[in-house]
Structure 1
Amino acid sequence: MSDPTPPMDPWVRSVLRCPVTGAELVDAVGPEGAPELRSTDPERPLAYPVRDGIPVLLETEARAL
């Protein structure tokens, strides 16, 4: 079964930043196989879930890496 969620536009993806550290976010897959965005900050690496194609960039939703 294919993913019905359209991919995020590259220009939108390029401007997203970690709301906690301001670091760039990169695409990743979480432990359960769900998509997520990971902060590239080496001091405080965080992962944010992507639900229904929408990044949830809330500190309370972040997972420490």
Structure 2
Amino acid sequence: MNLDPKLMEIIVCPDCHGQLAAEGEELVCQQCGLAYPVRDDIPVLLVDEARRPG
């Protein structure tokens, strides 16, 4: 995954507005734990597409 660091500074979880961190091929919210997929280096920040923790 190759996301611009400036992008990572401004995007947040659309569900709880928590900070996102890159983990593998996903962006994981550090607050609520939702994991958003990244497809072709484009974050898919849709709650319906997110993987729930657990």
Q: Hey, what does 1:32 align to over in structure 2?
A: none
Structure 1 residue 12, shift from structure 2 partner? 0.9
Equivalent in 40, 49, 52 of residue 30 of structure 2: 40
Secondary structure at 2:8 match in 1: helix
4+ residue runs of structure 1 moved beyond 4 angstroms? none
TM-score (norm 1): 0.75
Structure 2: runs of 5+ lacking an equivalent: none
Secondary structure at 1:63 match in 2: coil
Structure 1 residue 13, shift from structure 2 partner? 1.1
Count of residue correspondences: 53
Q: How far apart in 1 are the matches of 2:41 and 2:48? A: 19
**Which protein shows a greater Rg?**
1
**RMSD of Structure 2 on Structure 1 (CA):** 1.2
Secondary structure at 1:45 match in 2: coil
Greater length-normalized contact order (CA 8 Å, ≥ 6 residues apart): 2
